[in-house]
Structure 1
């Protein structure tokens, strides 16, 4: 596969593709620290797009365009880095390797036609990488594996290869074997061509492998060829191979591309992207593998497309001359340029200064309004770090940046204004970590709404909640790191300082028994006074019973026009709470007696009497605080089931049962858990399951809060009043 070809690419000049078959869209996937960003920069240098020192023309690096990433020292965004190799434009989509930013990773999967899993030879594979492999398998995404840091002192290529084969299953086989000597990587052995690509001189040269490597070549080459043949459409190849025929490497390479495109074979390539004393090794081989072995956009099925009213559309293909269908996969805000939209073009051709239709994405519950508008797009560009290099057009299959697309948000569809279309949105993870915040000053409060609107447009995994009961602004995040990045962006990018505050869970109050009470509102002032007396009986209702008001007044002791006033007063006091300031629920209030005055009685007088009567009744019986209980479903590998069940029990949860999920080695645990106990469960579960567990939650009912916790809440409420 590794024909000596040389790199292509010119610093400062944006590459453009003229045909879809000349494009490869590759998303880099892997855990934090595996070396994805380092690999991208090395590939940019290998193709001449940036200098060998990793610098763009003005001296900045590709990875320092986001000030938050520089301070956090980790990737938190999906980023695009196009390179050109052998006339093929390769769009490298670098994704964050931290679980909190899985939304950007899924956006990268949407924009790509193949995934490159980056695994460190020194650190191996984590649980998140295994989960992402399964996610790619579920959607049929072609995959390959790059093993980085093969020059590390702890690196063991054979061991990490075996780990990959165990974790990812059948079809994982190396295309090259690294040769290590004198404490550095000397080169790679191409198993198909049986050629040694020697880097010891500082340049890549070709020669015959040493005899010492003959056994390893024979073993790994046999496994590789058998894996390719199993996916071949030529059924005679296996018989010919077993008969001892020496198969043509070019033919095997063609079958390899088909096997990778169908998602049945996963080549492994070793790379030394950032060597110490020696040159980078394996970059040209990797570029050759991408251009020759990965599918073009023509070979990747398009997502489901419909009209605005939901009618399926089946005549769209990856055709530059077809109707326009593109999708915003990432939105960012630049303090100087403004909003920048990263767009994958699936059909048609995007050109600057044209009017497109923006269709909306169905995430209104997270604060993202649906869109159905026309908008003129501005300049098209090809990003390189913080630089936007202008291009004249973006054809079907390409990925492009659009500046100042003010109405479109992540997940929106762009189409011809005369034929509005909508792409089925990709699945976004549910944010499950609530973080309550408040502005630090009045000036920050005035700017907060607009700044949050921009964050929402950028990040579909963020959900905003203005909780009317607790009067708190809550950011629902993917995890602690996600929350920290959001708050830092508010401060540094938008100039709004906020601080975290303790989250209040919306409790409820109810009566612990039946009580009768009188509400007496009798006041005499100069002129009209106030006169209203009502007698009520309060009874608790079953959980979820709501509120009932019963009128048992006879004989007109309270005029008919004032009976609704008593009910209104009772409802007002229920909303204000009786012992801790939380709404009162699940009671029946019966109005059975009272008195009125022909002159001094009024609507307001009886409202106040109703409030006083409910307060008096609350003093006669125990009052209960109710807490919300959620139905929780936790999906974890079998190894962690015992730990998770014990933890749920410690959180006052009731485990309802477990069930295995197919043959995946995972178990679904169902439980009922109080909301107070799972505020930080998104963080705790990740820690307990080493990043492999997921959960969902939904409100179930209210239940009495334990006495010791209820006393603490009421005590805090009295101290604050």
Structure 2
């Protein structure tokens, strides 16, 4: 099918784990003619779950992309992982689509992932669609579920079609009003959604009030509907069964006829070098602007950079640049991703999702362009959860250090929520992810793909240090070695800043008592001291350093002297400013059976946690919300599994840092002193 930007629809399937996104993805691909037979999760034959770990576990870990043609549209579908452990790939897909279809399990109703994806899509300014899947499940009250969705997410959530004939068919209630359903009156549902749509546009509303519904053209309805989606005035609810196929073709019709195309959606948040939002032009004749939202290290074609084209046309054999790099690369191979297969194409137009192969410098969130007029722009990044779980590791077999480094680099390229750190002072390599399962998958991939086995142990907790008060510090560095000496004297003041403010360095020198050329050296010395800590060996943060006085010597003053003077004056001030150790506090959400609530809340209380609230869910599930020190949760996966018989799940997000209790600070300080004395 030949298409232009107005024909493209980009849709991500998101939602809680177990809602049937992957089977719905398969059903949509079959209905769209891309595949002949449905794959099976149990047999590991689906289009999206191709990785060995996905097949073994029976759920998605990475996002998968496929394009299908339906009606007048080319629809790019992105199947995403439901488990919170793998949110990196899910959220990165949000930077490439106009619409997020949040899939809801008809039997389980609103779950944690439902709320999270609705919130994230709204924050990104994306159109949202709720798809109630598994409507053929026995003993399901769909009417009550719709009421619950509207109560949770607003009255703008309205059915656009309804199940009929015991969920064997789905009937359109936006364009058509005929038919009957056991669920509700189709005419009533039609009237509700029509009233919601027409009120967004004064002209459409006037025509409707003056002449009635029959005076509204399909184009008027489409334009008003698209405006409602763009402005969040409407969140359509669709019904489907990925198992029987009920509602699947109707869902494709909704994608084709009603969802915004790339030219209609809210403008993407691109910014220039001054961090000012700018507009991109979805014009195929403009200069190229594309954003890489996924990186795949494919064993057959090499490194793949998957990108969304925002303006211009990318052609095979054309020359492109990455970010502000002045060295161009040639687009030797251009692919469209269709599930398991890669189809080579000649060009990608605005709105297209495509991939370029064998370009080593490509990285996640890179901006591709063909003119240096666009080399300073970037897409506003998606807010990813902070990877808090850590493992320190080293190769199991000697001589594999380089191989381990290469494997970690490639895995880091693929996952925006996976981090690798190397702590020089401990000679320790630490990997960080969103959960123990997340890191377990990484280690399995490291072994299966790259042949690297490791031994692991818990890393140090990412404590930080700061000050509780203000103080002044002074140091004179004077050294005479027979020839030219070293001299530098610094007076400075330290002041605390609010949590999360970082670091400020202020030059308050007057009268030239320290020449400006030596201020960077003083700041360098301060930063060196901040990295090494002052109480327990952890980096310092959230403070201001003001240099206000000092002396220099016209012959003996050198940069090295002021580095040393700045460092020691800073440590002098810190020692008098009530230094404290901060610990990371995380938001914890624990989903458990109601029968386990006492054990779980008691266990959290014993970990210095603050219980923030509980939510009762359908099916006897309870969600406990709490805040707890990360240091107390090292063994929590094992403990929760034991308390709930394996039925408990939890997620963590970094909330803030706060002071550790005095006994903990003394313990950390005492453990650091022997190393300090040794150094």
The answer for the alignment partner of 1:494 in structure 2 is 450
The answer for the alignment partner of 1:261 in structure 2 is 230
Between the aligned partners of 2:320 and 2:601, the Cα distance in structure 1 is 52
Greater C-alpha radius of gyration = 1
Residue 228 in 1 paired to residue 213 in 2? no
CA contact (8 A) 2:48 2:64 kept: no
The answer for the alignment partner of 1:389 in structure 2 is 343
The answer for the alignment partner of 1:27 in structure 2 is 12
The answer for the alignment partner of 2:494 in structure 1 is none
Between the aligned partners of 2:69 and 2:538, the Cα distance in structure 1 is 66
Q: 1:85 aligns with which of 70, 84, 91?
A: 70
Q: 2:281 aligns with which of 317, 320, 343?
A: 317
SS in 2 for 1:50: coil
Q: 2:377 aligns with which of 397, 417, 422?
A: 422
Q: 1:630-652: CA deviations, max 9, x gaps?
A: 15364879x99999998776335
Matched ranges for 1:266-305 at <5 A: 266-275=235-244, 280-305=245-270
Deviates more, 1:326-335 or 1:684-693: 684-693
Deviates more, 1:40-49 or 1:542-551: 542-551
The answer for the alignment partner of 1:326 in structure 2 is 290
Deviates more, 1:251-260 or 1:413-422: 251-260
Q: 1:630 aligns with which of 576, 583, 594?
A: 583
Matched ranges for 1:366-385 at <5 A: 373-385=327-339
The alpha carbon displacement at 1:79 in A equals: 1.4
SS in 1 for 2:185: helix
The alpha carbon displacement at 1:433 in A equals: 1.0
The answer for the alignment partner of 1:398 in structure 2 is 352
The answer for the alignment partner of 1:557 in structure 2 is none
The alpha carbon displacement at 1:128 in A equals: 2.2
**Unpaired runs of at least 5, structure 1:** 1-14, 196-207, 361-370, 509-540, 552-560, 562-574, 576-581, 587-625, 660-665
Q: 1:88 to 1:584 in 2, by over 3 A?
A: closer
The answer for the alignment partner of 1:474 in structure 2 is 430
The answer for the alignment partner of 1:43 in structure 2 is 28
SS in 2 for 1:63: coil
Q: 1:548 to 1:483 in 2, by over 3 A?
A: farther
Q: 1:105 to 1:505 in 2, by over 3 A?
A: closer
Between the aligned partners of 1:123 and 1:690, the Cα distance in structure 2 is 15
The alpha carbon displacement at 1:442 in A equals: 1.4
The answer for the alignment partner of 1:118 in structure 2 is 103
> TM-score if structure 1 supplies the norm length?
0.67
Between the aligned partners of 1:704 and 1:180, the Cα distance in structure 2 is 66
The alpha carbon displacement at 1:447 in A equals: 0.7
Between the aligned partners of 2:174 and 2:88, the Cα distance in structure 1 is 38
The answer for the alignment partner of 1:136 in structure 2 is 121
Q: 1:670 to 1:120 in 2, by over 3 A?
A: closer
Q: 1:158 to 1:313 in 2, by over 3 A?
A: closer
The alpha carbon displacement at 1:120 in A equals: 1.4
Q: 1:691 to 1:21 in 2, by over 3 A?
A: farther
CA contact (8 A) 1:81 1:383 kept: yes
The answer for the alignment partner of 1:177 in structure 2 is 162
The answer for the alignment partner of 1:676 in structure 2 is 631
The alpha carbon displacement at 1:34 in A equals: 0.7
Between the aligned partners of 2:598 and 2:278, the Cα distance in structure 1 is 48
SS in 1 for 2:450: coil
SS in 1 for 2:241: coil
Q: 1:149-185: CA deviations, max 9, x gaps?
A: 111224332232222222221211112111234xxx3
The alpha carbon displacement at 1:96 in A equals: 0.8
SS in 2 for 1:482: helix
Between the aligned partners of 2:332 and 2:52, the Cα distance in structure 1 is 25
Q: 1:93-119: CA deviations, max 9, x gaps?
A: 111111112121211111001111111
Q: 1:636 to 1:272 in 2, by over 3 A?
A: closer
Between the aligned partners of 1:215 and 1:477, the Cα distance in structure 2 is 46
The alpha carbon displacement at 1:87 in A equals: 2.9
Between the aligned partners of 1:61 and 1:476, the Cα distance in structure 2 is 30
Q: 1:491-514: CA deviations, max 9, x gaps?
A: 111221123223345899xxxxxx
**Unpaired runs of at least 5, structure 2:** 478-484, 486-528, 530-535, 541-578, 614-622
Q: 1:642 to 1:131 in 2, by over 3 A?
A: farther
The alpha carbon displacement at 1:246 in A equals: 5.8
The alpha carbon displacement at 1:373 in A equals: 4.6
CA contact (8 A) 2:230 2:266 kept: no
Q: 2:151 aligns with which of 166, 185, 193?
A: 166
Q: 1:163 to 1:332 in 2, by over 3 A?
A: same
Q: 2:398 aligns with which of 442, 445, 449?
A: 442
Matched ranges for 1:537-576 at <5 A: none
Matched ranges for 1:658-673 at <5 A: 673=629
Q: 1:595-637: CA deviations, max 9, x gaps?
A: xxxxxxxxxxxxxxxxxxxxxxxxxxxxxxx995415364879
RMSD: 4.5
